[in-house]
Amino acid sequence: MKITRYNGVEPQLQKRHQLIPAILNSLEEIVWSASAQTYKLLYINRAAEKVFGRTLAELYDQPNIWQLMIHPDDRQRVEQVFETLGERGNQAVEYRIVRPNGEVRWIHNRVCAIADIQGRVIRIDGIATDTTKGKQAEAQLCTESDLLQGIMQTSVAAITVVDTQGNIIFANARSQQVLGLTQSELVERHYNSPTWKITDFQGGPFPEEQLPFRQVMATGQPVFDVQHGIEWADGTRKYLSINGAPLKDADGVITRIVFSISDITHRQKVEEQLLYDALYDKLTKLPNRTLFMERVDHALKLAKRNQDYLFAVLFLDLDRFKIVNDSLGHDVGDQLLIATARKLEKCLRTTDTVAHLGGDEFTILLEDIKDIKDATRVAERIQVTLKSPFNLNNHEVFTSASIGIALSSTGYERTEDILRDADIAMYRAKELGKARHEIFDKIMHAQTLKLLTLENDLRRSLERQEFEVYYQPITSLVTGTLTGFEALVRWRHPERGLVSPVEFISVAEDTGLIIPLGEWVLYEACRQLRMWQTQFPTPEPLKISVNLSGKQIKEPDLIGQIDHILEKTGLDGRFLKLEITESVLMENAETVTKMLLQLRARDIQLSVDDFGTGYSSLSYLHRFPVNTLKIDRSFVSQMNHKSRNAEIIRTIITLAHSLRMDVIAEGVETLEQLTELKLLNCEQGQGYLFSKPLTKSEAGLLLVRLPQW
Ligand code: C2E
Ligand code: CA
Ligand code: CA
Per-residue pLDDT averaged across 444-473, rounded? 88
| Amino acid in the structure at residue 274 | L
pLDDT score of 394: 84
C-beta of 126 in contact with ligand 1 (< 6 A):
no
470 C-alpha to ligand 1 centroid (Å): 10
Ligand 2 center from residue 546 Cα (angstroms): 7
Ligand 2: centre distance to CA 527 (Å): 19
- Report pLDDT for 673: 93
Indicate if ligand 1 lies below 6 Å from the C-beta of 545.
Answer: no
Tens digits of per-residue pLDDT, 94-127? 999 988 888 889 999 999 888 888 888 888 899 9
Q: Is the CB of 693 under 6 A from ligand 1?
A: yes
CB 232 less than 6 A from any atom of ligand 1: no
* Pairing between β-strand 197-199 and β-strand 223-231 as defined by DSSP bridges: antiparallel
pLDDT at 68: 65
Question: Which atom number of ligand 1 is nearest to the Cα of residue 579?
Answer: 2
- Ligand 1, residue 669: give the atom nearest the CA: 18
C-beta separation of 478 from 683 below 8 A: yes
Q: Give the residue from 335, 320, 341 showing the smallest Cα distance to 391.
A: 335
Residue 616 — left, alpha, or beta (φ > 0 → left; ψ -120 to 50 → alpha)?
Answer: left
Q: What is the mean pLDDT of residues 78-83?
A: 86
Of all ligands present, the nearest one to the C-alpha of 500 is 1
Q: Where are the beta strands (DSSP E) in 172-311?
A: 197-199, 223-231, 237-248, 254-263
Let me know the angle formed at the C-alpha of 181 by 156 and 247, rounded to the nearest 5 degrees. Answer: 60
566 vs 527: CA distance, rounded Å: 9
pLDDT of 704 higher than 50 = yes
**Does residue 500 line the site of ligand 1, with CB under 6 A?**
yes
| Strand-pair partners of 398 | none
Helix axes 501-511, 514-535, angle to 10 degrees: 130
The answer to whether the CB of 475 is under 6 A from ligand 1 is no
Give the distance (Å) from ligand 1 centre to CA of residue 636: 15
pLDDT-based confidence at residue 355 (cuts at 50, 70, 90): very high
Cβ atoms within 10 Å, residue 294: 14
In this structure, the residue with its CA closest to atom 7 of ligand 1 is 667
Q: Is 533 in the pocket of ligand 1 (CB under 6 A)?
A: no
Per residue in 650-682, pLDDT tens?
A: 988 998 999 999 999 999 999 999 999 999 999
Span 304-321, average pLDDT: 93
**Residue whose CA is at the smallest distance from ligand 1 atom 10:** 693
CA distance 286 to 358: 11
The mean predicted confidence, pLDDT, of the chain is 86
Decide: 444 in ligand 1 pocket, CB within 6 A.
no
Strand order in the sheet with 237-248: 168-171, 158-163, 254-263, 237-248, 223-231, 197-199
Residue 547 near ligand 1, beta carbon < 6 Å:
yes
User: How many whole angstroms separate alpha carbon 444 and alpha carbon 438?
Assistant: 10
pLDDT band at 141 (very low <50, low <70, confident <90, very high): confident
Q: Is the pLDDT of residue 14 over 70?
A: no
Q: How far is the CA of 610 from the centre of ligand 2 (A)?
A: 7
Ligand nearest to the CA of 548: 1
Would residue 220 be called left, alpha or beta, if left means φ above 0 and alpha means ψ between -120 and 50 degrees? left
Give 116's DSSP letter: -
For 703, phi and psi rounded to 5 degrees? -70, -35
**β-bridge mates for residue 105, sequence order:** 97
Residue 470 CA: which ligand 1 atom is closest? 25
Predicted pLDDT at 679: 93
Q: Is the pLDDT confidence value at 467 over 90?
A: yes
Q: Which residues contact 260 (CB under 8 A, 6 or more apart)?
A: 155, 157, 158, 159, 242, 243, 244
Of the candidates 471, 472, 467, which has an alpha carbon nearest to the alpha carbon of residue 501?
A: 467
- Report the amino acid identity of residue 474: I
Which of 500, 524, 547 maximizes ligand 1 atoms within 8 Å of its Cβ, making it the mutation to test the pocket?
A: 547
**Under 8 Å CB-to-CB from 419, ≥6 apart: which residues?**
293, 296, 313, 315, 363, 406
Please tell me if the CB atom of residue 582 comes closer than 6 angstroms to any atom of ligand 1. Answer: no
- The predicted structure's pLDDT at residue 269: 85
Q: What is the mean pLDDT of residues 573-580?
A: 96
> Quick check: 145 pLDDT over 70?
yes
Count Cβ atoms below 10 Å from residue 311 Cβ, excluding itself.
24
Mean pLDDT along residues 385-395: 88
pTM: 0.52
The response to whether residue 610 sits with its C-beta less than 6 Å from ligand 1 reads yes
- In sequence order, the β-bridge partners of residue 185 are none
> Does 472 sit in the ligand 1 pocket, CB within 6 Å?
yes
Query: Whose alpha carbon is nearest atom 11 of ligand 1?
Result: 693
- Asked whether the predicted pLDDT for residue 709 surpasses 50, the reply is no
Chain centre distance of CA 669 = 60
- Tell whether ligand 1 has an atom less than 6 A from the beta carbon of residue 687: yes
| Ligand 1 atom closest to the CA of 548, numbered from 1 | 44
Distance, CA 582 to ligand 1 centroid (Å)? 15
**Per-residue pLDDT tens digits for 581-631:** 988 888 777 888 888 899 989 999 999 999 887 665 666 788 888 999 999
Q: Is 614 in the pocket of ligand 1 (CB under 6 A)?
A: no
Q: Where is pLDDT greater, at 167 or 375?
A: 375
Q: What is the reported pLDDT for 196?
A: 45
* pLDDT confidence of residue 193: 45
The pocket of ion ligand 3, defined by CB under 5 A, consists of 609-610, 666
Could you tell me if residue 86 is left (phi over 0), alpha (psi between -120 and 50 degrees) or otherwise beta?
alpha
Q: State the maximum Cα–Cα separation within the chain, in Å, rounded to a whole number.
A: 182
Q: Ligand 1 in contact with 509 (CB < 6 A)?
A: no
Confidence of residue 88 (pLDDT cuts 50, 70, 90): low
Considering 327-336, 435-444, 480-489, 610-619, the range whose residues carry the highest mean pLDDT is: 480-489
Neighbours of ion ligand 2 (CB under 5 A): 547, 579, 609
What is the rounded CA–CA span in Å between residue 293 and residue 28?
88
Cα(488) to ligand 1 centroid in Å equals 6
Cα 545 to ligand 1 centre (Å): 11
Residue 6 confidence (pLDDT): 45
501 lines ligand 1 (CB under 6 A): yes
Helix-helix angle 558-569:589-601, to 10 degrees: 30
Residue type (1 letter), 273: Q
| pLDDT for 332 beyond 60 | yes
Say whether pLDDT at 200 is over 60: no
Task: Kindly indicate the confidence band of residue 159, based on its pLDDT and cuts at 50, 70 and 90.
Answer: confident
* Residue closest by Cα to atom 23 of ligand 1: 667
Is the CB of 473 within 6 Å of ligand 1? no
Q: What distance in angstroms lies between residue 541's CA and the mean position of ligand 2's atoms?
A: 20
Q: Residue 56: what residue type?
A: L
Q: Is 518 in the pocket of ligand 1 (CB under 6 A)?
A: yes
421-449 pLDDT per residue, tens: 999 999 989 888 889 999 998 777 787 77
pLDDT (0 to 100) of residue 206 = 53
Q: How far is the CA of 686 from the centre of ligand 1 (A)?
A: 11
β pairing state of 576-581 and 605-611: parallel
Cβ-contact 380, 439 below 8 angstroms: no
Pocket lining: 325 vs ligand 1, CB cutoff 6 Å: no
Residue 149's pLDDT band, with cuts at 50, 70 and 90, is confident
The pLDDT of residue 563 is above 60: yes
How many angstroms does the Cα of residue 541 sit away from the middle of ligand 1? 23
Better-scored residue on pLDDT, 210 or 522: 522
Computed on alpha carbons and rounded to an integer, the radius of gyration of the chain in Å comes to 52
**Ligand 1 center from residue 506 Cα (angstroms):** 13
Question: Averaged over 40-59, what is the pLDDT?
Answer: 90
Does the Cβ of 244 fall within 6 Å of ligand 1?
no
Cβ(506) – ligand 1 distance below 6 Å: no
Give the mutation target among 488, 632, 674 for probing the ligand 1 site: most ligand atoms within 8 A of CB: 488
Q: Which amino acid is at 701?
A: L
CA distances, 524 to each of 218, 518, 682, 696 (Å): 80, 10, 29, 11
Query: How far is Cα 41 from Cα 35, in angstroms, rounded to an integer?
Result: 6
Percent of the chain with pLDDT over 70: 90
Query: Which residue's alpha carbon is at the smallest distance from atom 43 of ligand 1?
Result: 547
**Each residue of 210-256: pLDDT tens digit?**
677 888 888 999 988 888 777 666 677 778 888 889 999 888 899 98
> Which residues are within 8 A (CB) of 492 and not within 5 positions of it... i.e. 6 or more apart?
466, 467, 468, 498, 499
Looking at residue 204, its pLDDT comes to 46
